Amino acid sequence: MTASITPAIPSGDLLRPGARVFVAGHRGLVGSAITRRLRADGYEVLTRTRAELDLREAPATAAFLDRERPDAVVLAAAKVGGIMANSTCPVQFLEDNLRIQLSVIAGSHAAGVDRLLFLGSSCIYPKLAPQPIREDSLLTGPLEPTNSAYAIAKIAGIEQVQSYRRQYGASYISAMPTNLYGPGDNFDLATSHVLPALIRRFHEAKLRDPEGGGEVVLWGTGTPRREFLHVDDLAAACELLLRTFDGDGPVNIGCGEDLTISELAATVRDVTGYTGRIAYDAGKPDGTPRKLLDVSRMTSLGWQPKIALRDGIASVYAAWQAEEEREQARN
């Protein structure tokens, strides 16, 4: 794979109004947001649950795509998780994602699918890449060790997309989102990403200690810097890419601003109403010291994020509380 990136190529409307789009991974954080967005804008969205179609199984995936013949495919299905999950289950993060990508992309080509959008992750870039990270930083240095298996799988997906473009002229593209959050996020402390984990930990600390006399201990030093994008802003970007973009190489999607984990934690603490202290366990890993994306390629297409971080966190917290209350009522 070459690290060079060709300029953004706006290409008119590449997805007709009302087109049939298969969203692989429609129940996940990303896939559900893209499904909502496409349906709201009049597209016909095809979905299958994991029980109906295991995307790791290439023959079944190819048969489904050949039968349905969608106009476009959005590959949002993936095995994802935070530092703990990536560190303890690297085999699954590597193999499951490779299987999903190989079966969906190859099956789409075999079925004559005209458009495909592959969604990767900002973790594909080197741990110490110059900031903000440009798309041409890909493969210019070592990866962050705590999630290298997942990152390598996603890099393979980019290469697969670019190979189909080179060899067959396929109108397939890749997008690399920054850290995402939003409705439908994973709040399981063993497998979640940092923001939903913080929301849950501060919420539960508030319930245990309404007077705020205790503390919440977080992994690492609190100094790494991260960028966060609401998943509805990502969905708008993905629709724009499907409609107008046919360039080579990945496209970064982020908000263009970052903050420290300690600043994020303070914001989440304030939103949840917890009044206790925050402490850090410096013996636990920090991960990449900074990960801010250069999003000029995406913004050159006319896209800008609209949801401010604090507002987004507040809406996610309210939605999660409401879901927890409904779950308790059902039980």
CB 171 within 8 A of CB 14: yes
Give the residue numbers spanning the domain of 138.
Answer: 20-184+228-256+294-306
Q: Is residue 327 part of a domain?
A: no
Query: Collapsing DSSP states into helix, strand and coil, what is residue 119?
Result: strand
Per residue of the chain (331 residues), what is the pLDDT tens digit?
434 344 444 556 899 999 999 999 999 999 999 999 999 999 999 999 999 999 999 999 999 999 999 999 999 999 887 777 777 888 999 999 999 999 999 999 999 999 999 999 999 999 999 999 999 999 999 998 888 999 999 999 999 999 999 999 999 999 999 999 999 898 988 778 889 999 999 999 999 999 888 899 999 999 999 999 999 999 999 999 999 999 999 999 999 999 999 999 999 999 999 999 999 999 998 878 899 999 999 999 999 999 999 999 999 999 999 988 888 888 7
Q: Is residue 197 part of a domain?
A: no
Class of residue 118 by CB neighbours under 10 A (exposed 0-12, middle 13-18, buried 19+): buried
Q: Is residue 283 part of a domain?
A: no
Q: Is residue 147 part of a domain?
A: yes
Q: Which residues are annotated as a binding site for substrate?
A: 201, 219, 226, 286
Q: Is residue 74 part of a domain?
A: yes
Q: Is residue 45 part of a domain?
A: yes
Q: Is residue 279 part of a domain?
A: no
| pTM for the model | 0.92
Q: How many structural domains is the chain composed of?
A: 1
Rounded-to-integer distance, Cα 298 and Cα 290, Å: 20
Q: Which residues are annotated as a binding site for NADP(+)?
A: 25-31, 119-122, 154, 177-180, 193
**Which two three-digit tokens encode residue 115?**
């458009």
Query: Collapsing DSSP states into helix, strand and coil, what is residue 285?
Result: coil
CATH classification of the domain holding 107 = 3.40.50.720
Query: Collapsing DSSP states into helix, strand and coil, what is residue 88?
Result: helix
Rounded-to-integer distance, Cα 23 and Cα 250, Å: 19
Q: Is 181 a catalytic residue?
A: no
What residues contact residue 115 under an 8 Å CB cut-off, 6+ apart? Answer: 14, 15, 71, 72, 73, 171, 172, 173, 242
Query: Of the listed 150, 164, 181, 274, which one is catalytic?
Result: 150
Q: Is residue 31 part of a domain?
A: yes
User: 233 has which bridge partners?
Assistant: none
Q: Which residues are annotated as a binding site?
A: 25-31, 119-122, 154, 177-180, 193, 201, 219, 226, 286
